[in-house]
Amino acid sequence: MQFWRRKSLWLALSASWLLFILLGAFPLFRLAVSPRPQPAGPQGWPRWLDAALLRSFSQPEEPPEDVPVPSQAPQGASCSWGTCFDTSRCRNHGLKIFVHPAAGAASEMQRRILASLEGSRYQTRSLAEACLLLLLSPGAPAVHCGPVPHHWDRGRNHLVINLHPDPCPRASQLGQAMVAEASPRVDTFRPGFDVSLPLLPEAHPLRGGFPGQLRQHSPHPRAALLALAEDGGRWHTASFHSTTCPWDGRCEQDLGPKQTHRGEKLPNATFCLIPGHHAEASRFLQALQAGCIPVLLSPSWELPFSEVIDWTKAAIVADERLPLQVLAALQEMDPARVLALRQQTQFLWDAYFSSVDKVIHTTLEIIQDRILGASAHPSLLWNSPPGALLALSTFSRSPQDFPFYHLQQSSRPEGRFSALIWVGTPGQPPLKLIQAVAGSQHCAQIMVLWSRERPLPFRWPETAVPLTVMDGPRKLSHRFLPFGTITTDAILSLDAHSSLSTSEVDFAFVVWKNFPERMVGFLTWNHFWDEAQGGWGYTAEMANEFSMVLTAAAFYHRYYHTLFTHSLPRALRTLADEAPACADVLMNFLVAAVTKLPPIKVPYGKQHQEAAPLAPGVPGSEPQPQSPDHDCINQLAAEFGHMPLVSSRLRLDPVLFKDPVSVQRKKYRSLEKKP
């Protein structure tokens, strides 16, 4: 009995201990040791035992979906690209635009838009040929939308450009027309159909435009973090590093010492806070131009060209209700991100916004892309330099084919080049030159453009590479035609008079492969501002700087032939036809406008003796006032809207060039020979 009693006592004791441990100690222990919530267990969504038995949401016995499809003509708000735009009208001639004559007096901005369309390759004067009809909405928003033009056709294939927000209620009145409007409201904007434009200031230039203000990649360590849009079109720069929020008064009590700079036209800060309401939309462009990263607080308007531009790379759209959080995020932003955002603002400004011409052409390019469908510009081309206006989709759709995107695509230019020899003026056939070029291991083919009246020579030298001769009278600009026979990425452009050695060609090509977007040449010119004449001039004199290389002997990417022929206005190409030197200047303008970088010079042995005859028409050592060539550079600068040329002070030589080591060690030893 006693035994049994003791046993039961033990049992009771051990049970109670067990209970105690389970109830008290375990939870205490858990509490003390791991404060983290238990990951498994009943928390979260339970693991149902019979989950496998559940039925699928789509039952196979659902009725066949053969309900008639609504196919009434969509109107207004329901318009989309597929339903309201007739692309078949663009099939024959591509995108051709007919501009409805403006009713009444045109405003200054409208005149600029018209002028920009005037020179565009899209414009047509024939209504039948047109696939897009363009209507400029009257300038002032107060004016009623006015009577529709003659060939309105319910607005089909129409684009109404409106550089002011708040136009007429378009869903009802504009029918099936697309609206390109400055900062449209997000709730009425039809994505993929309408185009959102930037809100341009009245004095926005037609061409060229002011370059971006960014002078250095990274922000200056002492530069202000924030600028705030202020009434009267000015900016309020706050240089602070504490957690204050200067824009909505909610946390104004700890603004600290007011170290603010009031009233600047362009903000000088890393971030620019732009309130979301409509009135402040014009601040967006100012920030872009200044290289100040726009921080938009719940914008009620659609960002410009949002269809193609990836604004997450250049701006921050934040919620205005979380000011402190936004501020903290800006202060703690990764420097790499700040760097990328800053640069992107500048690229976008220069590529799409700096002039009326660019804004209009971007609009047209977007519509062109919609028409092209699958062969439109990929997003990469829109969003990295030099931008879609300068990377023509007619050339290729693959970024690898362009000279600009090799890094992003991890590709490299093709390993060989095509030599293009231009025989324009009388003289001996360039037999020696052909031999020298054909001797290069990188040469894929040689093409001779025989453009003079004289008959062709009977015999061409035997070369290891294919040699083709293209005969016929040609204009000078024809040397830059995109010849279909050129299949290599690199072109070596030559004149019949040029004299190069194989070694020079080899070295220049090896250099070009490292800089496929630039021109790599042997002979150089330099441009300068002529105070006396009040204009630009250029000289072939030997100098410490250069900004152009002669196409009489230069490597460049074949894409520039396409760009030269298809993107330049006809007027410019005619200019090049008239003066031989002007063609060189024009080509250099074009490449510099695209790359914003100087060309590259490589060593050239025979510089001194042959400089003069090599390029006929080169201005002599003394630039003559009012010479047609000087006119050329000034005319080009006027057409481009700015001077794109950039000077360089360096030349790329072989690593051991003229170094005091045995010639036997040098790869390009013939470059060393004294002329």
- Stretch 296-315 residues interacting with another protein (CB under 8 A): 298, 310, 312-313
Least separation in angstroms between CB 666 and another protein = 7
Which pair of tokens denotes residue 180?
A: 């390109």
Tell whether residue 601 is a contact of another protein (CB under 8 A).
yes
Q: Compute the distance between CA of residue 426 and CA of residue 451 in angstroms, rounded to an integer.
A: 10
- Stretch 139-198 residues interacting with another protein (CB under 8 A): 186-187, 189-192
Question: CA of 140: how far to CAs of 113, 126, 167, 203, 233, in Å?
Answer: 15, 29, 9, 15, 20
Least separation in angstroms between CB 511 and another protein = 5
Of 6-14, 93-101, 426-434, 479-487, which segment contacts another protein by CB under 8 A? 6-14
Tell whether residue 34 is a contact of another protein (CB under 8 A).
no
Nearer to another protein, 136 or 273 (CB): 273
Among 12, 127, 143, 571, binds another protein (CB under 8 A): 12
Q: Compute the distance between CA of residue 108 and CA of residue 140 in angstroms, rounded to an integer.
A: 12
Strand-pair category, 535-539 with 524-530: antiparallel
Nearer to another protein, 33 or 407 (CB): 407
Tell whether residue 20 is a contact of another protein (CB under 8 A).
yes
Nearer to another protein, 506 or 629 (CB): 506
Among 129, 153, 320, 639, binds another protein (CB under 8 A): 320
The torsion angles phi and psi of 591, rounded to 5 degrees, stand at -65, -40
Q: Compute the distance between CA of residue 575 and CA of residue 640 in angstroms, rounded to an integer.
A: 13
Of 128-136, 233-241, 452-460, 589-597, which segment contacts another protein by CB under 8 A? 589-597
Least separation in angstroms between CB 42 and another protein = 6
Q: Which of 357, 506, 584, 629 is catalytic?
A: 584
Least separation in angstroms between CB 601 and another protein = 6
Tell whether residue 656 is a contact of another protein (CB under 8 A).
yes
Least separation in angstroms between CB 15 and another protein = 4
Site string for another protein, 479-518 (x = CB under 8 A): ----------------------------x--xx--x----
Tell whether residue 249 is a contact of another protein (CB under 8 A).
no
Among 3, 35, 41, 203, binds another protein (CB under 8 A): 41
Site string for another protein, 324-353 (x = CB under 8 A): xxx-xxx--x-xxx-xx--x--xx------
Distance from first CA to last CA of the chain, Å, rounded? 126
Among 33, 36, 68, 140, binds another protein (CB under 8 A): 68
Return the biggest CA–CA distance within the chain.
Answer: 137
Cα–chain-centroid distance for residue 108?
Answer: 28
Tell whether residue 667 is a contact of another protein (CB under 8 A).
yes
**Cβ pair 602, 508 in contact under 8 A:** yes
Could you tell me the sign of the dihedral formed by the alpha carbons of 479, 487, 588, 430, in that order? negative
**Cβ pair 432, 499 in contact under 8 A:** yes
Strand-pair category, 269-275 with 293-297: parallel
Least separation in angstroms between CB 53 and another protein = 8
- Stretch 602-641 residues interacting with another protein (CB under 8 A): 602, 607-608
Which DSSP symbol is given to 333? -
Strand-pair category, 132-136 with 158-162: parallel
Nearer to another protein, 276 or 623 (CB): 276
Tell whether residue 266 is a contact of another protein (CB under 8 A).
no
The torsion angles phi and psi of 287, rounded to 5 degrees, stand at -65, -45
Least separation in angstroms between CB 669 and another protein = 10
Place of tokens 């009943």: 42
Q: Which helix (H) or strand (E) holds 225?
A: strand 224-230
Q: Compute the distance between CA of residue 569 and CA of residue 121 in angstroms, rounded to an integer.
A: 7
Which pair of tokens denotes residue 197?
A: 């434009």
User: Across the strands, what pairs with 495?
Assistant: 422
Nearer to another protein, 41 or 472 (CB): 41
Tell whether residue 319 is a contact of another protein (CB under 8 A).
yes
Which pair of tokens denotes residue 341?
A: 């955002």
- Stretch 199-228 residues interacting with another protein (CB under 8 A): 214-218, 220-222
Exposure class string for 113-152: b at 16+ Cβ within 10 A, else e: bbebbebeebbbeeeeebbbbbbbbbbeeeeebeebeeeb
- What does the radius of gyration of the chain's CA atoms come to, in whole angstroms? 34
Of 47-55, 237-245, 441-449, 630-638, which segment contacts another protein by CB under 8 A? 47-55
Nearer to another protein, 42 or 473 (CB): 42
Least separation in angstroms between CB 566 and another protein = 18
Q: Compute the distance between CA of residue 134 and CA of residue 118 in angstroms, rounded to an integer.
A: 13
Of 146-154, 359-367, 427-435, 655-663, which segment contacts another protein by CB under 8 A? 655-663
Instruction: Indicate if 86 belongs to the active site.
Output: no
- Stretch 436-455 residues interacting with another protein (CB under 8 A): none
Tell whether residue 268 is a contact of another protein (CB under 8 A).
no
Coil/strand/helix, residue 372: helix
- Stretch 529-568 residues interacting with another protein (CB under 8 A): 542-546
Question: CA of 469: how far to CAs of 173, 421, 490, in Å?
Answer: 60, 9, 19
Place of tokens 């490449």: 591
Tell whether residue 92 is a contact of another protein (CB under 8 A).
no
Among 31, 32, 33, 54, binds another protein (CB under 8 A): 54
Residues serving a catalytic function are: 584
